[in-house]
Chains A and B, each alone.
Chain A
Amino acid sequence: MPIRAKIAAFLGAAAAFALLPLFQPPAFYESLLYLVFFWVALATSWAILSGFSGYFSFGHGAFYGAGVYTTAAVASRFDIPLVLTWLASGLVASLLGIAIGAVIFRLRRLRGELFALLTLAVTFVIATIVLNTRIDGGPGVFLSGVKLPDIFGRQSSTIYLLGVVIAFASLATAWFVQYSRLGRGLFAISDDEDVAEVMGVPTYRYKLMALGLSCFLAGVAGGIHAVFVTYVTISETFSVVVPVSVVLMSVLGGARHWLGPALGAAFITLLNYAFVGGEWAVIGRAIIGAILILVILFLPHGIAGFVAQRWRRLRPAAVSEPPASSGARPPIAAPTAVPKPAQGGVLLRCEDVQLAFRGVRALAGVTLDVRQGEILGIVGPNGSGKSTLVNAISGYYRPDAGRILFGGTNLVTLPAHRIAELGLARTYQIPRPCQRLTVTENVALAGMFGAAALDRPAALSEARHWLDFVGLGERAASLPAQLNLHQRKFLELARALASRPRLVMLDEVLSGLTPTEIAGAVALIREIRQQGATVIFIEHNMRAVLELTERLVVLNYGQVIAEGLPRDVVRQPDVIKAYLGTAHV
């Protein structure tokens, strides 16, 4: 379905629900449908951060509750338009969320788990604050004095319409986010946050943005719900029902798709309706807990994920993408026609770079230059600091001392995504593709971030170009797990190239490949250089190193022990002693 038809269908559905009160349904059905839409809004807003990025919040109740009590506190005291109070509800919830995220999202380890725990804990902290201040004080807040305008002649219709509005606003936001740059970044974060950052995704800012959006919508939904229930209490508002329900609804429906949580919300709300009243309410909560366990164990990708999986299995042939249609681009063939770039000044300079891990000096003062347009080889025994150097240059590690200058900019203090934007790209020795994105999406992601910063259609066409370039055009619609090692290595390469880098760092791309595959890879790397990029080539395969590189640096114990023309370097006695074992040439 083309995008316009989808938008038309979405707006049509919204309009159809909005016009339902014209048929004067019994007020009871309006209330039930309102509840469905209320939960659709909460579950969908939850998924914008938690579903897309994988940071599960157990504190949606806190953000929703902040919204409930903001509206309760304001509307029961002051006579200002409700729309403004709801806006205030959203802002208060949003600020609360951002404050929590600003602390947790900085952590490197266990950030997902701690986020879940702290958001759950914050629910009770907020409840305590509300309980002990004049916001509530204990007895609850009555909103019976708050009057809504009668749209379609009835209060219940007005409330119902508000439910429709907040539900479809949440859905539209989630839909837009999913396919925007923000959403692509969030999906990359959920698969491998460190890789996403190094590819150029501003992970910290994106998580905060998504959390802010998510909490804003939850806060507004809470504000509307406060008017619906007319009497708000702490035990109801901050009970564990809200977080457990939204998590269940989203996971059940499929949290990685904008429509998934809505499906789950509708299903669970209607199921819950079957268990209303007295003892059944307690049993109903137990059943929700049980369904959550069963879904996690048996249906971890939710209904939407399950359907997508079946779909893929049923129609394996139909998913392959049309051939690349990027007309403006020069053909891949005949790269030798392109003149060899002039070797010029220094592109990257490492000055006395030092890095220690608890006393182990991984980099003990590395000083080296990478010249514009060259292929610089870096070799050395295992543990000599080659990969650590790549990690330090790409910003994953911050050196303890020294400077890394890239075209005059000191990279040492920059976050990794800023370094990627400047035009550095890397591959990983053990390929780290985003496992739940297709091959094309993986490469397109690199094109949307990094130095290229293309919009999505351009990034997709760029991705197809580079997939053809590395010979993975046929596998564009596969998932990375369906590729063999050789193909995954080439996927890494395509991903590095799609960001249009000025400097590519190849970390042992040849390891584990057969001689034929190595020959293909060597030819590719030559072409990459011909197209204007500078290459750092880290490798153990000395034949390939001697064949490809113009200069060679040897690392040992985190220090440069030799540097120069490859054929001279490999004859030096200390290089032979430290690394090669025997003379190589």
Chain B
Amino acid sequence: MPSATLLGQSILSGLFIGGLYALMGLGLSLAWGYLKLINLAHLAFAFLAAYVTYQFVGYAGLSPPVALLIVVPAFFLLGVALQALYTRFAVGEFASLLVTFGIAVIVESLIQYFWTADFRKLQIEHGTASLRIGTLFVPVIEALMLLVAAALSLATWAWLRFTYLGKAMRASAENPEIAAAFGIDPRRLALLMSGIGTAYAGVAGVFIALTSTLFPAQIFAWVGVVFAVVILGGLGNPLGVLAAGLAIGVSESVTMAVTEPTWAPLVAFTLLILVLILRPGRI
């Protein structure tokens, strides 16, 4: 059994990685829940954003917040454009899996073409700064990432619950025809939602660039854990995504501390399978 400090530290780092999972899962959950799109390309977009940030910060010399200000609106527009395309071709829930799989493969190839398959790590000032609380170290950027994830989840939840647009979105997801009969334009709402979801991928990407080592092949390796977060959190439920992300993050890093680190990828999958077996109605 690991010491209390090690356990505390691994719970802490589990919370941070869980924040990243939630950040990645948020846009996916919204698209699946409200647009009926299973967007495998979402993870590829997050990594595209990470590489773009890497380029901006590492080579063009921009500061990370400036990179965020460029990346997020650009990805919002990308999301809007893609949604227009999906609507134009009436892409259904199932076809979306295949189409976005194709997009993900293309994005992965493009990343590999421009940035090669090498490992890349962004070096920035204060990138490894950390606070010391008691016996625990708290890395600043990771903590910021967790705060951003929590803030975005809460804001999205409040937006969906309390604003007119959010309520219209929920009504339109429940029954587009009836919503349309009450004067809601589902197509414009879908454009907005897709834009927001893809912008979240951009946010996630900036933090991935700041915290992780990048290589193209990892895109598909994230599918299992992020979709586990989305499914466990409940489709279209931002707070659920946050909770599931943190739960999986913590269980992964505690598993790493207790057993071998290399077994961590099995944790999310096992949790998901357990939920599917024990509570199939949850889905």
Contacts and interface: CB of A to CB of B under 8 A. Distances in A.
B228 A247 contact: no
A422 interface: no
Given A110-B283, A282-B112, A289-B109, A56 B102 contact: no
A104 B106 CA distance: 29
A319 interface: no
Contact of B280 (A108, A291, A296): A108
B127 interface: no
Contact of A279 (B97, B113, B231, B263): B113
Given A244-B105, A286-B105, A107 B89 contact: no
Contacts of A235: 217
A479 interface: no
Classify the interface of chain A: helix, strand, loop or mixed: helix
Interface string A427-451: 0000000000000000000000000
24 contacts: A56-B98, A58-B97, A103-B276, A103-B277, A106-B280, A114-B276, A114-B283, A117-B38, A117-B231, A121-B224, A124-B221, A124-B223, A125-B266, A125-B269, A128-B265, A244-B102, A282-B109, A288-B105, A289-B101, A292-B102, A292-B105, A293-B102, A296-B98, A296-B99
Contacts of B113: 279, 282-283, 286
B269 A104 contact: no
Of all A-B residue pairs in the complex, the 10 with the closest CB atoms, nearest first, are: A121-B224, A289-B105, A286-B109, A292-B102, A293-B102, A289-B106, A289-B102, A132-B262, A128-B265, A285-B109
B174 interface: no
A321 interface: no
B143 interface: no
Interface of B: 38, 40, 89, 91, 93-95, 97-99, 101-106, 108-110, 112-113, 217, 220-221, 223-225, 227-228, 231, 260, 262-263, 265-266, 269, 272-273, 276-277, 280, 283
A50 to B, nearest CB: 11
B221 A300 contact: no
Given A109-B283, A286-B109, A290-B106, A296 B95 contact: yes
A524 interface: no
A121 B98 contact: no
B224 A120 contact: yes
B97 A113 contact: yes
B38 A297 contact: no
B223 A120 contact: yes
A292 B104 CA distance: 11
Which of A118, A247, A300 neighbours the largest number of chain B CB atoms within 10 Å of its CB? A118
Given A56-B94, A117-B223, A132 B260 contact: yes
A239 interface: yes
A292 B273 contact: no
Interface in A493-538: none
Which of B99, B101, B280 neighbours the largest number of chain A CB atoms within 10 Å of its CB? B101
Contacts of B98: 56, 247, 251, 292-293, 296
Given A120-B224, A122-B269, A124-B221, 5 more contacts: A56-B94, A113-B38, A132-B263, A285-B109, A289-B101
Nearest to A133: B262
A390 B136 CA distance: 62
A288 B106 CA distance: 8
B130 to A, nearest CB: 29
A140 interface: no
A112 B97 CA distance: 11
Size bracket of the A interface: 35 or more
A283 B109 contact: yes
A433 B110 CA distance: 44
A480 to B, nearest CB: 19
Contacts of A117: 38, 97, 223, 227, 231
A124 B283 contact: no
B82 to A, nearest CB: 11
Contacts of B99: 292-293, 296-297
A368 interface: no
A113 B109 contact: no
A300 B99 CA distance: 11
Nearest to A58: B101
Nearest to A300: B95
A121 B267 CA distance: 12
B266 A128 contact: yes
A347 B28 CA distance: 52
Contacts of A240: 105, 108, 220
Contact of B262 (A121, A128, A292): A128
A233 to B, nearest CB: 12
Contacts of B108: 240, 285
Nearest to A248: B102
A56 B221 contact: no
Contact of B89 (A109, A292, A297): A297
Contacts of A279: 113
A401 interface: no
Contacts of B104: 289
Contacts of B272: 118, 121
Contacts of B266: 125, 128-129
A104 B277 CA distance: 8
A116 interface: yes
Nearest to B217: A235
Interface in A55-106: 56, 58, 103-104, 106
Contacts of B93: 113
